[in-house]
Chain A
Amino acid sequence: MELKFLKKLAEMEYKKMIMYPLIIFVAALLIIAVKPPTLGIDLAGGVVVTAQGINDSPENIEKYVQDKTGISVRAEGFSSLSGEKGVNIYAPVGSSPEEIIKVLEEKYPKARYAQSEVQPTFGKLAQRQGIKAIGYAFLGMAVVVFLFFRILIPSGTIIFSAISDMMIALSLMSLTGIELSQATIAALLMLIGYSVDSNILLTTKMLKRKEKDIEKAYFSAVSTGFTMSTTTLGALFALWAISTAQVIDQIASVLMFGLLADFMNTWVLNAGVLKWYLGRGEKQ
């Protein structure tokens, strides 16, 4: 099945290969424009109390805290494979995390608590730094990629596909309700690395190919790429399934989104562009 799928990809027409990913890219942009991902409290500011080892529904906890403190809170449950349950309680800027923990401790004395409080101004700064970080990383990546290949179209496609990976990951974050936080920004940065890996592999194999046949070169590259993607996806899935730490779950999900997008952007879009680019050269 794997082979059939890859063969089909290899035989696809380049126009379609370029068009479909572009449509998805535009759709992702639209989603982000309509509903950008929500900002985590480390970027937007606010208060969060994490309680681990509470075996109660988030709704009950929400109601309990609201009744006792009068603070309007939002609770979100999480659990691990080992069955331990916990809850994250979000409160608006300026509310007292100590107060929330105090009332929770009265009812659930055995749970373990952690708290964070971030001012909106500090969040803004973190936000700016995050955006700058991604910008700089992109710039660095673009320069190096260009220096390695020294041809405009292939290098440009690599850079574009990294951008598209990130945008698709962002749009999926917004659809699945994963917050944009420092941790997920780190994950988006990781995507640059993965995206460059697969794209450089493809571009190298296509440009420096031994095989006369473009399709054969592509097939050899995409087989390797398929192994790479499935392996990484599997590892990320294991991370996601086993950890209850929210941060790790979020990083793993964002990377999975990005890698799925990357599979398309590398092996369909970038491959389509290269097919067209190389085909054009041959005609001349």
Chain B
Amino acid sequence: MRWKKLLFNWRVILLLIFIISSFASIYANGITYGLDISGGTAITVKLEKPVDSTTMDKVVNSLTNRINRLGVADVKVEPWGNEYIIVKVANVSAETVAGIKDTIEKQGVFYAAFNGEVFATGEDIVQVFAFQVEQSGTWHVPFQLSQSAAEKFARLALGKPNYPVDMFLDPPVNSLLVVSPDLYNTMLTKFNTPAPDALSLPERIKNAFNIDTLIYTNQTPDEIVKAAEGKELVVLVDVNGGLEKYLEEKNLNVRVVERGKGETDEELVVRTLGLYGPYSVSEGLTTGQASTNVEIKGSSPNMYLAQQEASVIAVVLASGSLPIKVHVEGTQFISAELGKDFKRQVLIAGIAALLMVGAIVYAHYRRFKIAIPVVSTSLSEIIIILGVAALIKWNLDLPSIAGIIAAIGTGVDQQIVITDELLGSREKTRITKRSGMLKRMGRAFFVILASATTTVVAMSFLFKFFVGGLRGFAFTTILGVLIGITITRPAYAEIAKFLLGEKR
């Protein structure tokens, strides 16, 4: 009879409903874990300078699009404050991570030039279609040009088959390249198409971007300063770094490009200029007819490389121009196995902590009737928090778990407050009427409400103003406290009232 009464108490029913739907939610949606638990790579990207939220959105969207085009399944691009972006990728190979880093850093302004004459920029690329790769390693990237760019190209290319088309991503515009004689030779000979009258690469970049190339033969720094007059930037390509300091002292903007491990001259030139190409123009395009649907064709030694190269070109074409420069600042790699270990540990440690709570509560009150409800109420709180997290697909990361611990900890505290008020009312004034107990419960709930409000307000600040890891902490703490005061605590009070009142 009494049990029935408890079971039909609406607070208890509410708790039961929530527990059952939480199980259903966890079962149906599964729990999404954060990177620090499930394993993966976090790449920290720094913007050139702090930006407002609209610009930030643009950068985030653009990066997301471009990384998605690389075919990586699970990528999250999250802003972190107004100057950083964190790119999170679930378990992928180290090569893929390197590819993503490349793509992030290779952002910037896109140019397409015909024989040293720019005919299109990123804005002229209307659409990039799916690329095709053939068994032989030949690939095609079809795309749509704007009408004006197509017309300009038609005019430039008229009667000039086999002339070179270069594409550039973020070339060092209006600069002085300082290169070794060998490197200069490579620029002259390795970047030509079968059109004898076409310009050489140094001439083409001079025409297109006002980039002068200086052969470094141990000139004095002053001579270089003189040559750099009117330039925005001096690029030292694999030449003695001692120049850097001197030039910087002369208030010149200096960029040092060092040769990477095993990098060939050709690769070095390509990297320095952000060059893709040259591609030679086929005869069909030199009739003066403007065509907006064009394609870039190339060939690689095998299908796998072709796939890669085509996807990079497609991404470069589609990138348009990011509103601001970005660069990769750090990476964080967590192995999936380590994460799995961690999950198990949290589970075991959590259960141990709960049992400990039960044991200590029992030691204090010497009553299972208190210890068991306290532990099971906390357990149901955890289940409901996880259920809600699963429902909204919240990424459960380390700080979120810390938040759950915080919520459960304060929860246990509050249950003890309720218990003591109940016991106190029973022990001291057995004769007082029910109203006495209600008053005491009211006081317990004042304490609970005051501390819950405080925690929620304090954590709301965190949640609203921060975007880093601490946000997860704030979220689960608030969630836990809210669930506590609305669902689990009232139910616990009913259950405790029932169990403790039974003896009377």
Contacts and interface: CB of A to CB of B under 8 A. Distances in A.
A52 interface: yes
Nearest to B409: A232
Interface stretch (B164-172, B316-324, B349-357, B388-396): B349-357
A247 interface: yes
B90 to A, nearest CB: 15
Interface in B84-128: 84
Interface residues on B, range: 35 or more
A137 B402 CA distance: 16
Contacts of A186: 399, 402-403, 469-470, 473
Given A116-B333, A119-B44, A234-B357, A136 B405 contact: no
A204 B449 CA distance: 12
B376 interface: no
A239 B405 contact: yes
B44 A122 contact: yes
A198 B364 contact: no
Contacts of B477: 190, 193
A145 B455 CA distance: 10
B298 to A, nearest CB: 31
B329 A129 contact: no
B359 A234 contact: yes
Nearest to A247: B398
A201 B424 CA distance: 15
Q: Chain A: interface residue count, which band?
A: 35 or more
Majority DSSP secondary structure for residues of B touching A: helix
A224 B333 contact: no
Interface in A233-284: 234-239, 241-245, 247-248, 251, 255
Nearest to B334: A114
A54 to B, nearest CB: 13
A231 interface: yes
B468 interface: yes
Interface string A41-84: 00000000010100000000000000000000000000010000
Contacts of B147: none
Contacts of B455: 192-193, 196
Interface in A11-34: none
A122 B337 contact: no
A136 B248 CA distance: 42
B399 to A, nearest CB: 5
A121 B443 contact: no
Interface in B424-468: 424, 443, 446-447, 450-451, 453-455, 457-462, 465-466, 468
Contacts of A6: none
Interface stretch (B208-216, B266-274, B338-346): B338-346
A129 B457 contact: no
Contacts of B348: 242-243
Which of A125, A132, A143, A224 lies at the interface centre, i.e. has the most chain B CB atoms within 10 A of its CB?
A224
B345 A243 contact: yes
B406 A193 contact: yes
B331 interface: yes
Nearest to B343: A245
A14 to B, nearest CB: 23
A138 B465 CA distance: 14
B206 interface: no
Contacts of B454: 140-141, 144-145, 148, 192-193, 196, 200
A123 B420 CA distance: 45
B367 to A, nearest CB: 13
Interface in A144-192: 144-145, 148, 182-183, 185-187, 189-190, 192
Contacts of B83: 125
A129 B81 contact: yes
A117 interface: yes
Given A186-B399, A204-B446, A232-B409, A243 B349 contact: yes
Nearest to A240: B349
B229 interface: no
A251 B458 contact: no
A112 interface: yes
Given A122-B330, A190-B402, A227 B420 contact: yes
Given A50-B338, A239-B405, 19 more contacts: A112-B337, A115-B331, A118-B330, A129-B466, A130-B470, A133-B470, A136-B462, A145-B454, A148-B454, A182-B469, A186-B473, A193-B409, A201-B417, A204-B443, A231-B361, A231-B412, A234-B359, A238-B355, A247-B402
The 6 closest A-B pairs by CB, nearest first: A136-B461, A137-B458, A235-B353, A238-B356, A140-B458, A224-B420
Interface of B: 44, 46, 80-81, 83-84, 329-335, 337-338, 341-342, 345-346, 348-350, 352-357, 359-361, 364, 398-399, 402-403, 405-406, 409-410, 412-414, 416-417, 420, 424, 443, 446-447, 450-451, 453-455, 457-462, 465-466, 468-470, 473, 477
19 contacts: A114-B334, A116-B333, A141-B454, A182-B470, A189-B458, A192-B458, A193-B477, A224-B416, A224-B417, A227-B364, A228-B416, A231-B360, A234-B357, A235-B357, A238-B349, A239-B405, A241-B352, A244-B345, A251-B402
Interface of A: 50, 52, 80, 97, 112-119, 121-122, 125-126, 129-130, 132-133, 136-141, 143-145, 148, 182-183, 185-187, 189-190, 192-194, 196-198, 200-201, 204-205, 208, 220, 223-224, 227-228, 230-232, 234-239, 241-245, 247-248, 251, 255
